[in-house]
Each structure stands twice: as C-alpha cells, then as structure tokens.
C-alpha cells in the first residue's frame, strides 16, 4: 500500500492518540508486558510514521509496563545460507572475516520493519547481546527480559522469549501473521527437540570494547508451518484471542504462554 493509497482509504490521519485508543480497545493495559510484531504499512497513513506507533505503545503501557520487540540482525548469520539475496561463494570468507562486530546500540535490524528499527534507538531502550536474534525492551522489566541473552540457541530457554514466558506476557500482532511470530521458535525448542542444529559464529564486542568472535549452537529453526499452527490455535483456543483493528490493520492480542504451550504440543504431534 502506497502512502497515497493509505490516505485515500482513511477519513483522518492516524495519530498517537488514535493509535493509543485502538490499543486500549483491543485490551492493552498499563503495566502489561507485550511483545510486538508489526507492519507499519498495514496501519494506514500514520502521522510522522514509526515514532507515533512507538509513542502510542509507550503511552498505553506506561513505565510500569514493558514493551518488547524483536530486533534481529540476520546479516550476522552464515553467508553461505543467504538466499535474499545470495552472495557469490568466493565472497563468503571476506564477508565473514571483515564484517564489523555486532554492537547493540549501533547495529541496525534487518527485515524487521520500520517500527522495531525506530524503537531500538529510543532513550532507555535496552537491547540484548545476541548478534543474530537480539530483542529490545523498554519499561519496568526491560533488563530482566534482555539481560544475559545466551548465545547458544538464541530463541530458546536462555532468550528474551523465555523471559517473556516467565512474565506471562502477551503477543501483539499489528497487521502481521503467525509466520513471523517468534514465540513459536521457543515452542520448537520445547516441542521438537529432535531438530538439527548448526554451529554459527559472529563478531561481538568483549567487556573491554574489543572485537572477538563467539561461536554458538543454533537450532535449525523452521517457520514453514507457523501459519498452520496459528490457524489451529485460533480454532481450538479462540477464547484466549482478542481481535480488533489498529488504524487499518487487523490486530490480535494473545497470551504468549498459551501460544507457546499450544505450539509445543502441535509440533510434537505434527512434525515428523
């Protein structure tokens, strides 16, 4: 949807207060812990763009709540696995040896959308240390969520996803589908433990600010059936799902623990 298309479909611009009102109508409350997946373009024409969405989320949650977004940087994954776009084989060694270290305050997200890329730069937002699967958080429990993010299995039991599970957080989908629902990756660890894994390495900064290479194990994550999991969850657990709209976007608010528990059982029963 172009900006002109969005303007034509709307009677009024989408402002911070209008976004905040829609979030409250959906069920987001002060003090909640919320993991947000978002598509800016799906919302319609947002006055000043991503900061309006971030400001609205912070206004509704207040500093007593905790706002979390995935801020993944897949440019630090193994270049031999890249498909969008692929790179020539004879580039791989140079990319691997010459790339600068991952730095939570500096390194941009990749393919995460405009809203999390904006959010990670806000004052008082903390970002976890994982070079590929970092998360950013703001609010009362931000440090609890992002501190000590384990390098091994970056979406598993030592990840912010597991800390959100511990906090009984909720997942807010703003114009996105279950195919990007990162909480299902935590469920892969719990319901499909026989999946293969691979060894990855990436440069990071050590405690003295010097570049070092860390080597870590990573589950071979597969989101190919996530939409099917979400479809079945909505069929079987419809009472745990809140639906609404935020601007022009379809929005869903779901307890993360229910999503993870259901998906873990689904993977155990349906994956070969």
The tens digit of pLDDT for each residue in 256-272 reads: 999 999 999 999 999 97
Q: What percent of the chain has pLDDT over 70?
A: 100
Q: Which domain holds residue 204?
A: 3-270
The tens digit of pLDDT for each residue in 148-165 reads: 999 999 999 999 999 999
45: Cβ contacts below 8 Å, ≥ 6 apart = 3, 6, 7, 10, 13, 14
Mean pLDDT over the full length of the chain: 96
Rounded CA-CA distance 102/9 in Å is: 41
Cα distances from 229 to residues 150, 158, 271, in angstroms, run 26, 23, 11
Count CA within 13 A, CB hemisphere, residue 239: 0
76, two tokens: 């630090």
Q: What percent of the chain has pLDDT over 90?
A: 90
Per DSSP, the three-state class of 35 is: strand
Contact 53, 175 (CB under 8 A): no
- Least trusted range by pLDDT, from 4-8, 30-34, 224-228: 4-8
Per-residue pLDDT, averaged over 68-85, amounts to: 93
- Considering the entire predicted model, what is its pTM? 0.96
Contact 202, 132 (CB under 8 A): yes
Rounded CA-CA distance 131/113 in Å is: 18
- The total of structural domains in the chain comes to 1
DSSP letter, residue 6: H
Per-residue pLDDT, averaged over 189-195, amounts to: 91
């Amino acid at each position: 949807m172009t900006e002109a298309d969005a303007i034509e479909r709307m009677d009024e611009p989408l402002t911070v207060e209008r976004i905040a009102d829609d979030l409250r109508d959906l069920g987001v409350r002060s003090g909640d812990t919320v993991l947000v997946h978002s598509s800016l373009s799906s919302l319609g024409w947002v006055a000043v763009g991503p900061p309006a969405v971030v400001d609205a989320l912070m206004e509704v949650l207040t500093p007593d709540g905790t706002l979390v977004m995935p801020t993944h940087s897949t440019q630090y994954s193994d270049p031999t696995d890249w498909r969008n776009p692929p790179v020539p084989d004879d580039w791989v060694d140079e990319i691997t040896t010459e790339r600068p270290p991952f730095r939570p305050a500096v390194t941009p997200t990749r393919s995460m959308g405009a809203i999390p890329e904006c959010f990670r730069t806000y004052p008082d937002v903390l970002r976890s240390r994982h070079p590929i699967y970092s998360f950013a958080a703001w609010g009362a429990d931000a440090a609890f969520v992002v501190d000590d993010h384990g390098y091994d299995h970056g979406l598993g039991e030592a990840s912010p996803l597991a800390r959100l599970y511990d906090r009984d957080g909720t997942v807010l989908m703003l114009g996105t589908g279950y195919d990007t629902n990162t909480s299902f990756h935590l469920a892969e660890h719990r319901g499909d433990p026989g999946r293969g894994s691979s060894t990855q390495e990436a440069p990071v900064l050590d405690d003295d600010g010097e570049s070092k290479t860390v080597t870590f194990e990573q589950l071979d994550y597969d989101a190919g059936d996530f939409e099917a999991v979400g479809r079945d969850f909505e069929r079987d657990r419809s009472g745990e799902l809140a639906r609404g709209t935020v601007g022009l976007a379809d929005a869903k608010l779901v307890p993360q623990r229910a999503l993870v528990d259901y998906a873990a059982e689904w993977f155990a029963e349906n994956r070969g």
